[in-house]
Amino acid sequence: MSSTTTSRCPFEHIQNPDQEAEQIAETTDLTVKLLDKRYPPPEQILRGVHPKSHGCVKATFTINSDIAPEFQVGLFAEAGKQFDAIIRFSNAAALVRPDIDKGKHGSRGMAIKVFDVGGEVLIDDNGAHNQDFLMINQPVFAFANTEDYLRLDKILFERGDDNAPEFFAPLQLKLNPNITEEEKRRILAYMEAENISEEAMRRMGASAKIIAGIQSTPVANPLGIQYFSAAPFLFGSDRVMKFSAMPCAVVPPTDVPDSPPPDYLSDALTETMNRNEELHFDFMLQVRRECDDFGVDNELIENASSEWHDDFVSVAKITIPAPQPEVDTAEHKARCEKLVFTPWHSLVEHQPIGSINRLRKDVYQASATHRLEQPEPLPSFVRLLEKLFKSLFG
């Protein structure tokens, strides 16, 4: 991967660039350390987030033939132009667990790779000029900015699982009238050590609400729901966008099974891709201009938990041809594992912006490099022979 230096963007307001650079470096370092902790040799290292795939499908991405001239920017410049694409559907959870884990639903991901888009890119994709669109099934991201994400990551690292109740502990001071003095002292000491401000407390409350929403949102079929970028991107030099993909029709099944198997989402995807029925998503944009209101401290750019309420406009159509019975084969799944998606695989016109997106640049590269540089895992019978040899000959 080679990358161009990114110009300063007029929409971004980085309050303390040196501090943010340090936070990004620390989170990137923790990402790699966490992977080593989660996957000790000879285990195969998976993605730092979204390790569980429901399947990869091939698709086409076609710019609407009637796209309005004001939206003909970057990838969307040429009406009617069609690109090949691949889409990976996933669970966001950092560990591979049942799709409904201990009764709780989770965040779901849709990552689209649009191939050979031409133009100037920020980071090339193994030499190719591809445009990736990464989305989750909520219009907002649960953590507002780099500062909050680093605090979360430190807790995840300490605990070694994908649960961080300590992150939300300060809210207990406001919400729990029965909190003990000892607990109160512990939380206050943590808040002082982490320099948690009133503003950070407000963001923490918003994060807790978003997570409660995720955990109570049932998804029956990854191919049947709407996905969102949550974070913002440039739209040419003088506008910004968020994007979303929405199915054009109802895609059965629409209800979660009564006793859902651990991988019921990949079952639903495989079953859908075995049907002889093409699927379509509308790819839509929310576009804002420099003269629009972006809130105090550019909240709508710098806080990925803040929702934009502008109308979505359809600019392209995603077509997933069917049937694709190969989605369930070991060979196809292995190829899907090796794909690398990052919001920074992007045309310069759609540069990722805002604190969370600046953080993602180094973190995705570190996660992908670390997992792909790992030697291929040995087949289990070779590992067994190795063990036997060691036990016999020391």
Residue span binding ligand HEM (CB under 6 A) among the ranges 13-21, 48-56, 201-209, 212-220: 48-56
**Please, which of residues 272-311 interact with ligand HEM by CB under 6 A?**
304
Beta strands in 213-274 (DSSP E): 227-228, 233-234, 239-247
Using rule CB under 6 A, residue 345 touches ligand HEM:
no
Indicate the pairing of strand 279-289 with strand 239-247: antiparallel
Token pair 């502990």 is at which residue?
A: 169
Using rule CB under 6 A, residue 214 touches ligand HEM:
no
Alpha helices in the chain (DSSP H): 17-38, 146-159, 165-168, 172-175, 181-193, 198-215, 264-274, 299-302, 330-337, 355-373, 380-393
Using rule CB under 6 A, residue 23 touches ligand HEM:
no
From 27, 91, 207, 306, residue interacting with ligand HEM (rule: CB under 6 A): 27
- Host H or E run for residue 116: none
**Please, which of residues 179-198 interact with ligand HEM by CB under 6 A?**
none
Taking CA atoms, 44 is separated from 8, 374, 376, 379, in Å, by 38, 8, 8, 11
The torsion angles phi and psi of 164, rounded to 5 degrees, stand at -135, 65
Q: Which CB, 67 or 343, lies closer to ligand HEM?
A: 343
From 67, 210, 231, 316, residue interacting with ligand HEM (rule: CB under 6 A): 231
Q: Smallest Cα–Cα separation from 358: which of 24, 84, 93? A: 24
Residue 73 Cβ vs ligand HEM, minimum distance, rounded to whole Å: 21
Q: Which CB, 229 or 272, lies closer to ligand HEM?
A: 229
Distance CA 349, CA 91 (A): 29
**Please, which of residues 66-95 interact with ligand HEM by CB under 6 A?**
88, 90
Using rule CB under 6 A, residue 55 touches ligand HEM:
no
Using rule CB under 6 A, residue 225 touches ligand HEM:
no
Residue 390 Cβ vs ligand HEM, minimum distance, rounded to whole Å: 32
Using rule CB under 6 A, residue 136 touches ligand HEM:
yes
Q: Which CB, 38 or 50, lies closer to ligand HEM?
A: 50
From 283, 356, 358, 361, residue interacting with ligand HEM (rule: CB under 6 A): 356
Distance CA 346, CA 130 (A): 7
Q: Which amino acid would we find at residue 116? A: D
Are residues 90 and 301 in contact, defined by beta-carbon separation less than 8 angstroms? Answer: no
Distance CA 355, CA 369 (A): 22
Using rule CB under 6 A, residue 360 touches ligand HEM:
yes
Indicate the pairing of strand 239-247 with strand 52-63: unpaired
Q: Which CB, 286 or 367, lies closer to ligand HEM?
A: 367
Q: Which CB, 251 or 366, lies closer to ligand HEM?
A: 366
- Tokens linked to 338: 């090796």
Using rule CB under 6 A, residue 341 touches ligand HEM:
yes
Q: Which residues contact 254 (CB under 8 A, 6 or more apart)?
A: 220, 221, 224
Using rule CB under 6 A, residue 211 touches ligand HEM:
no
Instruction: Tell me, residue by residue from 138 to 167, as one string, x for binding to ligand HEM by CB under 6 A and - for no binding.
Output: ---x-------x------------------
Q: Which CB, 273 or 356, lies closer to ligand HEM?
A: 356
Using rule CB under 6 A, residue 364 touches ligand HEM:
yes
Residue 231 Cβ vs ligand HEM, minimum distance, rounded to whole Å: 4
Taking CA atoms, 237 is separated from 4, 10, 74, 241, in Å, by 17, 9, 10, 11
**Which positions touch ligand HEM (CB under 6 A)?**
27, 31, 47-50, 88, 90, 109, 111, 134-136, 141, 149, 229-231, 304, 339-341, 356, 359-360, 363-364, 367-368, 371
